[in-house]
Amino acid sequence: MKITDLFNVKNKVAVVTGGSRGIGEMITAGFLANGVKVYITARKAPALLEKAKELSEKYEHECIPIPCDLSTKEGVEDFVNQIVNKENGIDFLINNAGAAWGEPFESFSEGGWDKVMDLNVKSLFFLTQKMKLLLTTNASLDDPSRVINIGSIDGLNVPALPTFSYSASKAAVHHLTRVLAAQLVKENILVNAIAPGPYPSNMLGAAVNHDYSEIEKRNPRKRVGTPEDIAGLVIFLCSRAGAYTVGETITSDGGIVKTASHNLS
Ligand SMILES: NC(=O)c1ccc[n+]([C@@H]2O[C@H](COP(=O)([O-])OP(=O)(O)OC[C@H]3O[C@@H](n4cnc5c(N)ncnc54)[C@H](OP(=O)(O)O)[C@@H]3O)[C@@H](O)[C@H]2O)c1
């Protein structure tokens, strides 16, 4: 019952997609600081390699970069093959890489639809499918493997911006989480989702010119999310403490979804 046992993730192996910056970097930092070996992937190789080196040095734990484009099935297969060549099994798969697209309804493009749905939904499904064998290798009834899908509060609330495919993709991630959870719990792989609210990143920053002051003012907690907020939740879900939580979508948004006044009317 001690916290050091309940939340222990030491000596586990994790894969964090989109680990080169933003929320993926925050999750990776939390894992490394607590003794997890982490594979990170992103498309831009120089930034990814530099980030892996920086995080390995800072947390004195192994962070291994594998540059890959997960938006295609070939990219997904290539990435999985590279992991298979290095590990017999993995414990945690964090499906974090994602894309957003905003365009007025009247001119919303097919490219903006496909780019978002392909990466956020299709690739997440096929990566999980192809990682199953690796996850099963390390899974047992007492110590199940974990998959965490990063959704969004935009998949729960109606977003203010014209991000039609993004909000639909994140609602799909949340439901796919339940469907995958039902499929994989039989094999001791627990699937859950996290729906983040505003966290500083390239994705959110691009929408507000990297000025988060208005977002902070509107947030019930009067701030944006921090690495501790997201890493703490991921570690809970991956540890003994989270081993009876299955198919959930947990918000990490300072209270937007559950307390915003338009949801109470
Ligand atoms: N920040 C927020 O406020 C917020 C809120 C709700 C949900 N989310 C979700 O959180 C996740 C992370 O978002 P973020 O805000 O941290 O975004 P971000 O700063 O744009 O980071 C996205 C990460 O994904 C990688 N990536 C993008 N496309 C990829 C591809 N085709 N193949 C492999 N890697 C790819 C990026 O690296 P490369 O560009 O080098 O590929 C980067 O490492 C996303 O699923 C997003 O929808 C974010």
Counting from 1 in the atom list of ligand 1, the atom nearest the Cα of 100 is 47
**Is the CB–ligand 1 distance for residue 225 below 6 Å?**
no
Going by alpha carbons, the residue nearest to atom 20 of ligand 1 is 203
Whichever domain contains 147, its CATH number is: 3.40.50.720
Active-site residues, by number, are 166
Number of domains in the chain: 1
Question: What's the CA gap between 94 and 134, in Å, rounded?
Answer: 14
Query: For 189-216, what is the mean pLDDT?
Result: 95
Distances (CA, A) of 154 to 149, 173, 200: 14, 11, 16
Which atom of ligand 1 lies at the shortest distance from residue 43's CA?
41
Look at residue 30 and tell me if it is in a domain.
yes
Counting residues of the chain whose pLDDT is more than 90, the rounded percentage is: 96
What counts of helices (H) and strands (E) characterise the chain? 11, 7
Phi, psi of 150 (to 5 degrees): -90, 110
**Which atom of ligand 1 is nearest the CA belonging to 26?**
16
Span 108-135, average pLDDT: 98
Alpha-carbon separation of residue 195 from 16, 34, 44, 91, 234 (angstroms): 16, 23, 25, 21, 12
Going from the C-alpha of 157 to that of each of 18, 126, 210, 260, the distances in angstroms are 24, 26, 22, 10
What confidence tens digit (pLDDT) does each residue in 252-265 have? 999 999 997 654 44
Tens-digit pLDDT profile for residues 141-188: 999 999 999 999 999 999 999 999 999 999 999 999 999 999 999 999
Q: Whose CA is nearest to atom 25 of ligand 1?
A: 18
Ligand 1 test: best mutation among 15, 63, 69, 96, most atoms within 8 Å of CB? 96
Residue 263 inside a domain? The answer is no
Residue 235: predicted pLDDT: 98
Answer whether 94 contacts ligand 1 (Cβ < 6 A): no
Task: Indicate whether 160 belongs to any domain.
Answer: yes
> 0.95 exceeded by the pTM?
yes
pLDDT tens-digit series, residues 66-79: 999 999 999 999 99
User: Where in the sequence is the domain holding 154, given as residue range(s)?
Assistant: 3-257
Q: How far apart are CA 237 and CA 245, in angstroms?
A: 7
Our answer on whether the CB atom of 198 is closer than 6 Å to any ligand 1 atom is yes
Any domain includes 175: yes
DSSP summary character for residue 106? G
Mean pLDDT within 91-100? 98
- The pLDDT score that the predictor gives to residue 265 is 45
Please indicate, yes or no, if residue 264 is contained in any of the structural domains: no
Q: Is the CB of 254 under 6 A from ligand 1?
A: no
Tokens of 193: 């989702």
